[in-house]
């Protein structure tokens, strides 16, 4: 039955029917059977086709057009052209040997104004993508929101407005109605704290509000509320679906033993990690933020925000070292991380932070089922004269983090899968196309995908040919 459905899908989508690869789910040495191996991307970062087939503009389209906002002046307008090359990209995933693929749905592609009329051609794209993944034996893990808010909703207040909870829940239900018969996992938001800090508190990301702590906390609280409302609605709509959300969890370290730096670390941890994590897991607000959030939080909000999760997505890149900096957002600035290695983003390589996070989730949050939904690094990759991309530093980075993950598993942490950021180089937000996180190199002039050495390495790890 399953096979004939796959055959049918493959034929309908003109995809080669390839044998299922059971190997990647089970064989990787020292990882549990059924562990999901995969990679992540997001709509604004790879799709392009920003004004095709009825898609409405998102805040990132508008933000990237403002002079000086993006390092190389790049925009998401074309990106990796995945909207047209999705077949080729599924073949790339198949070649890599993924068993899971996390992507995001572009809200403004499927509901151009954010609320109201749906765009049939937009939904058709995700239909094809989901069917193509399933035909190839890859589990689709769509994320409903990865920062690209429809511009029309921003004009109605965006995440500053409490109405956003209803807008998002309606969109989530529409997605589940359209794709839920085939999609086993639904992820709600991507890193709400990062969106709130860089897009609303500061002006480094879209929508570039720069409204300081009050705007940041409002955007964070309303995303929490939207997530809780959507989770509740999806439980009713699709009782069998596995529901989750994705948080950026990074241990926060004080730059020095000074009391002021210690206090800054506690504040930053509250904003970056705890408002979102304690919200969904405990229905609580970190104590030190209660005075600042009191006006935002209405009596029933915390009960809506606290929801059972079938999967907690954790994005991990590094720890964060902070210090007191009066006048900065939450009076906190970046400190000097103590690390021997740094990535091209300037981020320290600290795989032990991943272990710390997982152990903390086990000890303090009831050991929830976790999926590492992003982990990876940007390095200065170059296409060699031999047509190869040698990226030994990325291989070392991923290997170190997988070893940390294996230690967490050995200690009893409930980790169900691991997804690399990212399948391919893509639009790296305010860094434009100047930072490359991919397992596949993208030559933007031709849009050719060229597997890097790390791509081959990761494939061998998943097949169990290269023990971690
Ligand atoms: C985001 C990705 C981003 C990555 C690297 C994560 O915070 O979810 O969209 O590309 O970090 O900066």
**In this structure, is residue 258 part of a structural domain?**
yes
Q: Is the peptide bond before 209 cis (omega within 30 degrees of 0)?
A: no
pLDDT, tens digit, for every residue of 53-98?
999 999 999 999 999 999 999 999 999 999 999 999 999 999 999 9
**In this structure, is residue 100 part of a structural domain?**
yes
Range of 410's domain? 5-462
pLDDT score of 30: 79
Which protein residue's CA is at the shortest distance from atom 9 of ligand 1? 42
Ligand 1 pocket, 191 CB below 6 A? yes
Half-sphere exposure of 381 (CA within 13 A, CB side): 33
Half-sphere exposure of 127 (CA within 13 A, CB side): 13
Looking at the structure of the chain, the number of domains it has is: 1
- From start to end of 250-302, where are the E strands? 252-254
* CA of residue 215 relative to chain centroid, distance: 22
Ligand 1 pocket, 148 CB below 6 A? no
**In this structure, is residue 154 part of a structural domain?**
yes
The yes-or-no verdict on residue 1 having pLDDT over 70 is no
pLDDT, tens digit, for every residue of 390-402?
999 999 999 999 9
Which protein residue's CA is at the shortest distance from atom 3 of ligand 1? 428
pLDDT, tens digit, for every residue of 134-176?
999 999 999 999 999 999 999 999 999 999 999 999 999 999 9
CA dihedral in degrees (154, 159, 162, 167; nearest 10)? Answer: 60
Give the CATH number for residue 338. 3.20.20.80
**In this structure, is residue 467 part of a structural domain?**
no
Ligand 1 centre distance from Cα of residue 348 (Å): 15
Ligand 1 pocket, 194 CB below 6 A? yes
Contact (CB, 8 A) for 132 and 9: yes
Q: Based on the residue annotation, tell me whether 155 is a catalytic residue of this protein.
A: no
**In this structure, is residue 362 part of a structural domain?**
yes
Of residues 297, 293, 314, the one with CA closest to residue 305: 297
The yes-or-no verdict on residue 23 having pLDDT over 80 is no
**In this structure, is residue 292 part of a structural domain?**
yes
Query: And the tokens for 93?
Result: 């995933």
**In this structure, is residue 346 part of a structural domain?**
yes
**In this structure, is residue 468 part of a structural domain?**
no
Over residues 217-232, the mean pLDDT reads 99
pLDDT score of 77: 98
The yes-or-no verdict on residue 228 having pLDDT over 80 is yes
């Amino acid at each position: 039955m399953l096979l004939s459905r796959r055959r049918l899908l493959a034929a309908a989508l003109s995809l080669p029917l390839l044998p299922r690869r059971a190997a990647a789910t089970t064989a990787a040495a020292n990882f549990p059977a059924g562990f999901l191996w995969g990679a992540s991307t997001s709509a604004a970062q790879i799709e392009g086709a920003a004004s095709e087939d009825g898609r409405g503009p998102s805040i990132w389209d508008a933000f990237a057009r403002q002079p000086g906002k993006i390092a190389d002046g790049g925009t998401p307008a074309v990106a990796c052209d995945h909207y047209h090359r999705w077949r080729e990209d599924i073949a790339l995933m198949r070649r890599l040997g993924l068993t899971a693929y996390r992507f995001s749905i572009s809200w403004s592609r499927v509901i151009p104004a954010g609320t109201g009329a749906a765009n049939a051609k937009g939904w058709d794209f995700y239909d094809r993508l989901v069917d193509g993944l399933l035909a190839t034996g890859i589990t689709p893990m769509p994320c409903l929101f990865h920062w690209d808010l429809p511009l029309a909703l921003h004009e109605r207040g965006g995440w500053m407005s409490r109405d956003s909870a209803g807008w998002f829940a309606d969109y989530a239900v529409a997605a589940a109605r359209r794709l839920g018969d085939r999609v086993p996992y639904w992820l709600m938001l991507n890193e709400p704290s990062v969106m709130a800090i860089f897009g609303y508190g500061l002006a480094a990301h879209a929508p570039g509000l720069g409204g300081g702590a009050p705007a940041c906390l409002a955007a964070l609280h309303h995303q929490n509320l939207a997530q809780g409302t959507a989770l509740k609605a999806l439980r009713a709509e699709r009782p069998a679906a596995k529901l989750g959300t994705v948080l950026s969890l990074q241990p926060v370290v004080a730059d020095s033993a000074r009391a002021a730096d210690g206090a800054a670390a506690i504040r930053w941890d509250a904003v970056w990690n705890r408002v979102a994590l304690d919200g969904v897991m405990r229905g609580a607000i970190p104590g030190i933020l209660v005075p600042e959030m009191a006006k935002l939080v209405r009596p029933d909000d915390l009960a809506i925000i606290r929801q059972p999760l079938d999967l907690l997505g954790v994005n991990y890149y590094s720890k964060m070292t902070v210090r007191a900096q009066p006048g900065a957002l939450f009076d906190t600035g970046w400190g000097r991380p103590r690390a021997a290695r740094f990535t091209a983003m300037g981020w320290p390589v600290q795989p032990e932070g991943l272990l710390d996070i997982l152990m903390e989730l086990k000890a303090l949050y009831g050991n929830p089922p976790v999926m590492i939904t992003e982990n990876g690094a940007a390095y200065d990759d170059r296409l060699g004269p031999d047509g190869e991309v040698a990226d030994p530093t990325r291989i070392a980075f991923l290997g170190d983090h997988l070893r940390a993950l294996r230690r967490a598993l050995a200690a009893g942490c409930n980790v169900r899968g691991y997804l690399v950021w990212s399948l391919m180089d893509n639009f790296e937000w305010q860094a434009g196309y100047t930072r490359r996180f991919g397992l596949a190199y993208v030559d933007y002039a031709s849009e050719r995908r060229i597997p890097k050495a790390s791509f081959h390495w990761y494939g061998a790890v998943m097949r169990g040919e290269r023990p971690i």
